[in-house]
């Protein structure tokens, strides 16, 4: 099927962004948002569907069963509200505001147990190095506010590697802190009105490309050991590394967020819930150089020892593109286990894969009770892919006998258009991927030679086209898949 391009988007919207082009993009996004809200069966496929923004008139209808309500519970109010300008901030795009942000948070910390606080960032371009957040705290970006990541690596101090990784993900030892960071916090809101946080990551990608990176790159936003977090109504641009990284967290909501990075920017994952529980990601538009959403839980023997799983995760109405990676990824770091995940209304186009499970020998851990439903994929090379053995280990100390257990992956109501291949499901010898269920999956016209490729997997399939592999041939006597 012929699919319209997105002519309103400049070829590389993140380069040389001019205000008029942003206005155009926003108008387009608004119009698309409206057409998405009024989605009818005749809606042309292939149209980008960013989150509905600027809902003209009708108030958004919140269905408790299909919203993130309950995941974030607003604590107290925010008794003290300050502007970054009160701490000497200058939003001219060149003055460093690192000290202003650090002083502001230091000051507002005192109000955590005295009614809470908010730091407001007004219109302007606020260049800064890394700063930390505090508890009972809101970081609010007003319309036209842009936080810009410093281009000086010294403004991104080194911190300890995560214990569940045992080392920096890219380089041994310490890692660069994230631009916006928090550890051991509760009730944190990062929101605004069409504001953006731009990591200006190109310098970091170049260090990676030219192999002179000394330590693992920092995230744009990382929260560790934190509870009750809301991230909403903002745009995150050009992260050095994974964009939003909640790790060892619980009750995290990421809603109505746009994440943009060049499609070739290395490891610029959108949102990576890592060893975290009760996470709800909803209405996000993501285009980047790596997985749109990747659920993780630590690496090899370090992740196994820490045994800190990711569980109870909802990913709903996420759309976007990533030419070399996947819409939703599980792993490859999954050594602490991943369970009870619901992914629904996923829309992925021009991507390497829509759904991908990545594991390896040495990972240990498990992936269980995963439901992926109502997926539309267009021009995706391998629609659904289980892969193994990229030989990507923390160090030589991994245990090759530590094989992951995969039990219960339910994939249903999938429509593929312009899909390149049939699913590739490669399990690992010595363990079996059990209860793999496909139901109502239609991948459209593939080449007549397209065959499912399955190894070390077992399960069932109903109403699936093209015809699935032998390993998924149902014998009609059970109902766990058919009626799941
Ligand atoms: C945050 O505010 C709540 C409610 O006022 C209070 O119970 C809690 O102790 C505060 N948290 C911190 C870290 O001060
Ligand atoms: C959003 O912000 C950009 C600049 O940051 C501005 O050009 C645009 O007009 C704003 N759009 C809306 C809908 O407020
Ligand atoms: C921010 O927190 C990290 C650890 O969580 C700490 O190492 C760093 O010194 C803090 N930075 C500032 C500016 O307080
Ligand atoms: C989504 O966020 C944008 C600002 O980035 C805001 O203008 C819009 O109203 C939000 N949409 C919803 C449905 O909350
Ligand atoms: C690598 O990239 C960085 C960041 O752009 C640059 O400063 C450095 O000079 C480059 N080094 C080499 C050897 O190309
Ligand atoms: C996002 O912004 C819209 C419009 O201002 C507001 O109604 C909504 O409550 C905000 N949502 C969140 C989750 O912050
Ligand atoms: C499977 O996960 C869903 C959430 O996606 C949860 O509601 C359900 O209780 C889980 N089932 C089991 C047996 O844990
Ligand atoms: C998928 O879509 C169907 C039909 O619109 C809906 O009933 C269902 O709740 C959606 N989600 C899941 C997980 O099946
Ligand atoms: C099959 O999936 C399609 C696409 O999600 C959906 O429209 C249709 O209702 C599903 N059919 C059944 C019987 O669930
Ligand atoms: C059908 O499959 C079930 C479990 O999936 C198995 O217990 C049963 O023996 C199988 N029956 C036949 C006739 O193969």
More confident call, 478 vs 171? 171
* pLDDT over 50 at 320, yes or no: yes
Give the span between the Cα atoms of 298 and 274, in whole angstroms.
7
Residue in the block written with tokens 């990824």: 329
* 400-431 residues labelled b (16+ CB within 10 A) or e (exposed): eebbbebebbbbbbbbbbbbbbbbbbbbbeeb
What's the chain's average pLDDT? 89
> What is the residue with the minimal CA distance to atom 8 of ligand 7?
340
Shortest-distance atom of ligand 7 to CA 341: 5
Active-site positions? 290
Residue 432 and residue 430: Cα distance in Å, rounded?
7
pLDDT in tens, 202-213: 999 999 999 999
Beta carbon of 479 within 6 Å of any ligand 10 atom: no
| Atom nearest to 202 CA in ligand 5 | 5
* Ligand 2 nearest-atom number relative to CA 145: 5
The alpha carbon of 223 and the centre of ligand 3 are apart by a number of angstroms equal to: 12
Q: Binning pLDDT at 50, 70 and 90, where does residue 482 land? A: confident
Q: Considering Cα of 332, then 333, then 335, then 338, what sign does the dihedral take?
A: negative
Cα(33) to centroid(ligand 7), Å: 31
Rounded to whole angstroms, the Cα distance separating 251 from 278 reads 5
86 phi/psi in degrees, rounded to 5 = -65, -15
pLDDT digit string, tens, across residues 2-20? 333 333 333 333 333 334 4
**What is the whole-number distance in angstroms between the Cα of residue 3 and the centre of ligand 3?**
48
| DSSP secondary structure letter of residue 265 | S
Structure tokens of 240? Answer: 């050095």
pLDDT at 57: 34
Instruction: State yes or no: pLDDT of 53 exceeds 80.
Output: no
Q: What's residue 7's pLDDT?
A: 34
Is the Cβ–Cβ distance between 236 and 221 less than 8 Å?
Answer: yes
The pLDDT assigned to 476 comes to 66
Distance CA 472, CA 474 (A): 6
The structural domains of the chain, ordered by start, are 23-66+291-484 (no CATH), 72-264 (2.160.20.10)
At residue 414, the pLDDT reads: 98
In this prediction, residue 452 carries a pLDDT of 96
Reported as a single tens digit per residue, the pLDDT across 108-151 is 999 999 999 999 999 999 999 999 999 999 999 999 999 999 99
CA distance 237 to 199: 6
Of 65-74, 100-109, 123-132, the poorest mean pLDDT is in 65-74
pLDDT at 65: 56
pLDDT value, residue 1: 36
14 — alpha (psi -120 to 50), left (phi > 0) or beta? alpha
């Amino acid at each position: 099927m012929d699919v319209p391009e997105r002519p309103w988007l400049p070829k590389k919207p993140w380069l040389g962004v001019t205000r008029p082009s942003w206005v155009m993009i926003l108008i387009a996004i608004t119009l698309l948002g409206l057409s998405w809200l009024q989605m009818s069966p005749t809606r042309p496929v292939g149209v980008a569907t960013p989150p509905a923004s600027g809902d003209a008139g009708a108030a958004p209808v919140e269905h408790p069963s299909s919203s993130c309500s309950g995941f974030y519970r607003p604590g107290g109010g925010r008794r003290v509200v300050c502007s970054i300008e009160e701490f000497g901030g200058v939003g001219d795009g060149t003055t460093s505001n690192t000290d202003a942000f650090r002083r502001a948070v230091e000051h507002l910390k005192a109000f955590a147990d005295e009614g809470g606080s908010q730091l407001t960032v007004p219109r302007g371009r606020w260049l800064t190095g890394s700063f930390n957040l505090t508890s009972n705290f809101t970081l609010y970006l007003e319309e036209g506010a842009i936080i810009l990541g410093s281009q000086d690596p010294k403004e991104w101090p080194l911190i300890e590697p995560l214990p569940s990784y045992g080392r920096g993900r890219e380089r041994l030892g310490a890692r660069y802190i994230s631009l916006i960071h928090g550890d051991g916090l509760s009730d944190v809101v990062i929101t605004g009105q069409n504001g953006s946080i731009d990591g200006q990551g190109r310098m970091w990608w170049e260090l990676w490309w030219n192999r002179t990176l000394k330590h693992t790159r920092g995230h744009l936003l990382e929260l560790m050991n934190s509870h009750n977090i809301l991230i909403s109504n903002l745009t995150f641009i050009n992260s050095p590394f994974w964009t939003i990284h909640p790790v060892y967290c619980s009750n995290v909501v990421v809603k109505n967020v746009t994440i943009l990075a060049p499609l070739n920017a290395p490891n610029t994952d959108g949102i990576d819930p890592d060893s975290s529980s009760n996470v709800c990601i909803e209405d996000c538009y993501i285009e980047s150089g790596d997985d749109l959403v990747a659920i993780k839980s630590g690496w090899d023997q370090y992740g196994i020892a820490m045994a800190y799983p990711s569980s109870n995760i909802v990913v709903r109405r996420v759309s976007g593109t990533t030419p070399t990676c996947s819409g939703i990824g599980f792993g490859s770091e999954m050594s602490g286990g991943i369970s009870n995940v619901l992914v629904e209304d996923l829309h992925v186009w021009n991507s390497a894969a829509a759904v991908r499970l990545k594991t390896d020998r040495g990972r240990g851990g498990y992936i269980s009770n995963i439901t992926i439903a109502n997926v539309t994929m267009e021009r995706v090379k391998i629609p659904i892919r289980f892969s193994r053995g990229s030989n990507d280990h923390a160090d030589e100390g991994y245990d090759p006998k530590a094989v992951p257990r995969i039990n219960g992956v339910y994939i249903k109501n999938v429509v593929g258009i312009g899909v390149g291949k049939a699913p590739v499901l490669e399990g690992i010898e010595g363990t079996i991927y059990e209860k793999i269920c496909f139901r109502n999956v239609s991948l459209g016209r593939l080449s007549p030679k397209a065959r499912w490729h399955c190894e070390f997997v077992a399960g069932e399939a109903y109403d699936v086209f093209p015809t699935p592999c032998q390993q998924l041939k149902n014998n009609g006597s059970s109902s766990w898949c058919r009626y799941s």
